[in-house]
Chain A
């Protein structure tokens, strides 16, 4: 575990990742169509989307991602509403990441990337 990873509490990492789930949402399973297969990346395989985000954010490792996300979340980094506000602000200010065509806010792209990197480390 790196220094930056150690610095964040389990609670705050959990909150960050929960933030990802805020917009990923959970749905009952319905029949699949081609468009849905495309969307399954976003809906059911956040880690696959996370991998795309890692690619779209070259040079940002877990340390940097965590630090950037923590900075954006105020003091304890645990606030879901802070994440939601950051996402809205990203869109308003044009801080957009293109992850294989998905136009994501920088904050959510970082969350997804962090989720993917954390799962690799686990």
Chain B
């Protein structure tokens, strides 16, 4: 059932067994899991079924560190959440991403990737993907097809799968509407989890509907699933009156804010300008379909062995080719339109050599226009850094909740990792004979390439750790110091790797749903 919370009488108290806050990838995944269970579930979603400016404005915040993205643009605040505009690229994190890595402080999840695999497999279905398969060979990329130096040992080929992309709010709307014991409250904003004076368990959730509606939810178990930034904001706004937030006894909530760092790391002058670029360029790799309609994207990455040995952040590389134009050929094409015939004839005559070269290479190499340059678009892992953080600012939103201030920082370790990785790549490019590479990443610790930016994958701010002194949630994603509040989403990632996060978010949400089902059984 769907209920518009704006129509609830002021002061309503909703009683339920499980209360999920947030109807995005994580929240909807969990709600679906409870459809068949015997207990009552309330899902509180801030937005309606479509975008509304007043609700979207509730996402406003400021950037007080390195410039970060517009918080009202990267996140969407209506049913389905940010999956209303995600691209659907799905990848599994590397084994190493879960490990405690030598030389990488604060690294290590409470469990290895192997533990998460059963839920990764189930997440495939939720994200409307094909079978669980992330080895290049499973997609027809045999080792022989992978050009050096991307056949190891330092750089390897990886694949990600493309979801349609699943718009969670549309695809799963009907099944949730029909679920007998599940109610989705639209336009329902969580404002504050209230605990006793000493903190501890959540006693109730105060909620609001724009413009002034107020109601309360009382549940046995609460799940916070509002995305990494908002999960932080709600925890910092909750807990005992006058305190520093819920789950924040050790001043960890909001710290370790991480995103994937994107920049052009270098340019390759290929030794062979007629190189088979299809294999190198993930964009066109989706022509290799395993079985219709499943698609994948291939890319290159720093190998786990090299990352571990050299203590490096992960790096993913996608290549873009800069293809030349044959002036004579362009003129020839225009001649067919009979426009400026004399001018184009002149160009054609002057570039007969170019046209001949085009024809010859087309015949002998299958492609006539040479690749002049290959641009290396890099995605770097951000190393865990407690100083990169989200706090509450002074301004408040239309519901009276303090807005966030994002203090995004990159450390010297991040920069040195990027320098090392790009140098290594350039050397490998030279060693393998692929060409020569100019790296665009300077040695200066603070000076990133001018196009560098943090992407929209927000992570890390309620990190998972068995020890309450080192993490906000435990290995079950339960907020330390409470028995009935859980967190779902990428805020629990202790380290981020370079994989797109949503498949892991969905896998963790499925795992958490299983845990809660067991608890309530």
Task: Using CB atoms and an 8 Å cutoff, list the residues of chain A in contact with chain B.
Answer: 23, 25, 27-31, 33, 35-36, 38-39, 42-43, 88, 91-92, 94, 96, 98, 100-105
A35:B430 contact, CB within 8 angstroms: no
Chain B, interface residues (CB within 8 Å), range: 20 to 34
Residues of A within 8 A of B440 (CB): 101
Interface bits B313-354 vs A (CB < 8 Å: 1, else 0):
000000000101111000000000000000000000000011
Residues of A within 8 A of B375 (CB): 35
A102:B324 contact, CB within 8 angstroms: no
Report if A102-B357 is in contact (Cβ < 8 Å); known contacts: A27-B370, A96-B427: no
Q: In the complex, what's the smallest C-beta–C-beta distance from B377 to chain A, in angstroms?
A: 12
B269:A103 contact, CB within 8 angstroms: no
B431:A92 contact, CB within 8 angstroms: yes
Chain B residue at minimal CB-CB distance from A87: B430
Q: Does B437 contact A (CB under 8 A)?
A: yes
A91:B427 contact, CB within 8 angstroms: yes
A91:B430 contact, CB within 8 angstroms: yes
A91:B431 contact, CB within 8 angstroms: yes
Chain B residue at minimal CB-CB distance from A96: B427
A30:B370 contact, CB within 8 angstroms: yes
Q: Does B426 contact A (CB under 8 A)?
A: yes
Q: Chain A's interface: helix, strand, loop or mixed, by majority?
A: mixed
A31:B438 contact, CB within 8 angstroms: no
Q: List 27 A-B contacts (CB under 8 A).
A: A25-B271, A27-B370, A28-B357, A29-B354, A30-B326, A31-B324, A31-B327, A33-B373, A35-B322, A35-B373, A36-B372, A39-B269, A42-B436, A42-B438, A91-B427, A94-B427, A101-B266, A101-B440, A102-B437, A102-B438, A103-B423, A103-B426, A103-B429, A103-B430, A103-B439, A104-B436, A105-B430
Q: Does B273 contact A (CB under 8 A)?
A: yes
Contacts A35-B373, A42-B269, A103-B438 aside, 14 further interface pairs with beta carbons under 8 A come to A23-B271, A23-B436, A28-B357, A29-B354, A30-B372, A31-B325, A35-B267, A35-B372, A36-B324, A38-B373, A101-B438, A102-B437, A103-B426, A103-B436
A28:B353 contact, CB within 8 angstroms: yes
Q: How far is the CA of A22 from the CA of B167 in the complex (A)?
A: 53
Q: How far is the CA of A93 from the CA of B125 in the complex (A)?
A: 47
Residues of B within 8 A of A43 (CB): 269
Chain A residue at minimal CB-CB distance from B375: A35
A38:B267 contact, CB within 8 angstroms: yes
Instruction: Identify which of A27, A29, A98 contacts B273 (C-beta below 8 A).
Output: A27
Q: How far is the CA of A98 from the CA of B438 in the complex (A)?
A: 9
Residues of B within 8 A of A31 (CB): 324-325, 327
Residues of B within 8 A of A35 (CB): 267, 322, 372-373, 375
What 8 A-B pairs are tightest by C-beta distance, nearest first? A30-B324, A103-B426, A91-B431, A35-B373, A101-B438, A31-B325, A35-B322, A102-B438
Residues of A within 8 A of B357 (CB): 28
Interface bits B463-507 vs A (CB < 8 Å: 1, else 0):
000000000000000000000000000000000000000000000
B271:A39 contact, CB within 8 angstroms: no
Interface bits B263-277 vs A (CB < 8 Å: 1, else 0):
000110101010000
Q: How far is the CA of A31 from the CA of B329 in the complex (A)?
A: 12
Interface residues of B in 349-369 (CB under 8 A from A): 353-354, 357
Residues of A within 8 A of B437 (CB): 102-103
Residues of B within 8 A of A42 (CB): 269, 436, 438
Instruction: Identify which of B372, B423, B429, B431 contacts A39 (C-beta below 8 A).
Output: B372
Q: How far is the CA of A52 from the CA of B354 in the complex (A)?
A: 31
Instruction: Identify which of B325, B426, B438 contacts A30 (C-beta below 8 A).
Output: B325
B439:A39 contact, CB within 8 angstroms: no
Interface residues of B in 408-428 (CB under 8 A from A): 423, 426-427
Report if A88-B373 is in contact (Cβ < 8 Å); known contacts: A23-B271, A101-B440, A103-B423: no
Q: How far is the CA of A28 from the CA of B267 in the complex (A)?
A: 20
Instruction: Identify which of B427, B429, B438 contacts A38 (C-beta below 8 A).
Output: B438
B327:A88 contact, CB within 8 angstroms: no
Q: How far is the CA of A98 from the CA of B423 in the complex (A)?
A: 9
Residues of A within 8 A of B354 (CB): 28-30
Q: In the complex, what's the smallest C-beta–C-beta distance from A88 to chain B, in angstroms?
A: 7
Q: In the complex, what's the smallest C-beta–C-beta distance from A20 to chain B, in angstroms?
A: 12
Report if A39-B267 is in contact (Cβ < 8 Å); known contacts: A91-B430, A101-B438: yes
Q: In the complex, what's the smallest C-beta–C-beta distance from A60 to chain B, in angstroms?
A: 20
Residues of B within 8 A of A94 (CB): 427
Interface bits B218-241 vs A (CB < 8 Å: 1, else 0):
000000000000000000000000
